[in-house]
């Protein structure tokens, strides 16, 4: 009997202990989950920031490489197929001007010979399929050039005509379209300069004032959202490309020979008459091939050929 009482009593103690232990374990789990919830809520924004920053930094590097590729095309004599800077007024009658971006959202339905990204692809040794969209399914290598990792199109805008230089803007939005949007494209100096003159690197930068009224207040506000004075402006990667313009001065002191200056695939594009002294060509984009012939009439005899890297002066005597 004593032995039974001992077991019964001991069993009761064990039962009570197990219940207490089980209650404590559940409470512990609840507390751990609560703490984890707080940690996740605290860490999640930082983790998201790290991911977004990494995506942006990777895209910035890609744009640097792409901008360098575009600059290598400025020396190309094939203006229709290779030279990015094939602008209206700077090409021959048989040439096709480069097709630059004319929208901030539209994707390319097909690939044309003169598309800027097709020319960039050829500069990298690729052979784009003309008439086929640059998608990951049909042209994966070209799609990697035309689109960023978020799926947004990379954009190349040509600046307005101006003295001394031709500007280009290479633009890539690393945020989803439901997070940030760009204002619709406008073929104006004000629209272009709003992008050109803004700071896209600082974490506290503000979107261009020109955008006010171009996108909705909610869309504009999305660019300024952030804690501690930080904004989302840095998520737009922008690279500025400048191609200088130069002139050729022809001092023609010869009594009978004229100087015929060919450039932009136009022959001749400029003539310095015999014994006319100093003659200055219109501005010519850097990298263009300059050919100078001399004679009493066209075509004359080739006297000089060179790439235009600076303002040049030629004397014919």
| DSSP of 29-49 | HHHHHHHHHHHHHHHHHHHHH
pLDDT of residue 53: 79
CA–CA dist 181, 164 (Å, integer): 33
pLDDT of residue 221: 96
92: which strand partners? Answer: none
pTM of the model as a whole = 0.84
Closest CA to 243 of 144, 300, 170, 176: 170
196 CB contacts (<8 Å, ≥6 apart)?
159, 167, 169, 240
Instruction: Please state the separation of Cα 11 from the chain's center in Å.
Output: 76
> Could you tell me the two tokens for 80?
């229709």
Q: What pLDDT is recorded for position 4?
A: 43
Instruction: Residue 205: name the closest of 228, 231, 181 by CA.
Output: 231
Burial letters 122-159, b for 16+ CB under 10 A, else e = bbeeeebeeeebbbeeebeebbebbbbebebbbbbbbb
Confidence at residue 13, expressed as pLDDT on a 0 to 100 scale: 47
Q: Which two tokens stand for residue 166?
A: 């031709």
Q: What is the pLDDT along the chain (317 residues), one digit of tens a residue?
A: 444 444 445 555 455 444 444 555 777 777 878 777 776 666 655 566 677 778 889 999 999 999 999 999 999 999 999 999 999 999 999 999 999 999 999 888 899 999 999 999 999 999 999 999 999 999 999 999 999 999 999 999 999 999 999 999 999 999 999 999 999 999 999 999 999 999 999 999 999 999 999 999 999 999 999 878 899 999 999 999 999 999 999 999 999 999 999 999 999 999 999 999 999 999 999 999 999 999 999 999 999 999 999 999 999 99
Return the CA Rg of the chain: 33
């Amino acid at each position: 009997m004593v032995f039974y009482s001992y077991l019964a009593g001991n069993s009761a103690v064990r039962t009570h202990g197990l219940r207490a232990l089980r209650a404590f374990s559940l409470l512990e789990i609840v507390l751990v989950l609560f703490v984890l919830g707080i940690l996740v809520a605290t860490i999640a924004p930082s983790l998201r920031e790290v991911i977004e920053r990494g995506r942006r930094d990777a895209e910035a590097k890609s744009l640097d490489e792409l901008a360098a590729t575009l600059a290598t095309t400025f020396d190309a004599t094939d203006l229709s197929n290779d030279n990015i800077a094939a602008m209206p007024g700077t090409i021959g009658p048989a040439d096709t001007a480069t097709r630059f971006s004319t929208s901030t959202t539209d994707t390319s339905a097909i690939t044309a010979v003169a598309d800027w990204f097709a020319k960039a692809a050829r500069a990298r040794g690729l052979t784009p399929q003309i008439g086929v969209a640059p998608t990951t399914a049909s042209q994966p290598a070209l799609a990697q050039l035309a689109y960023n990792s978020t799926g947004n199109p990379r954009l190349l805008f040509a600046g307005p005509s101006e003295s001394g230089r031709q500007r280009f803007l290479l633009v890539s939005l690393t945020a989803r379209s439901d997070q940030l949007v760009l204002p619709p494209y406008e073929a104006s100096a004000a629209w272009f300069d709003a992008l050109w003159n803004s700071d896209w690197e600082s974490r506290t930068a503000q979107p261009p004032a020109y955008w006010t009224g171009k996108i909705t207040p909610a869309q504009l506000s999305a660019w300024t959202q952030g804690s501690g004075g930080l904004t989302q402006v840095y998520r737009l990667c922008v690279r500025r490309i400048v191609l200088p313009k130069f002139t050729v001065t022809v001092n023609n002191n010869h009594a009978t020979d004229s100087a015929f200056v060919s450039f932009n695939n136009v022959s001749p594009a400029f003539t310095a008459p015999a014994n006319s002294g100093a003659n200055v060509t219109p501005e010519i984009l850097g990298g263009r091939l300059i050919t100078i012939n001399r004679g009493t009439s066209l075509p004359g005899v080739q006297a000089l050929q060179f790439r235009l890297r600076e303002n040049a002066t030629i004397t014919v005597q």
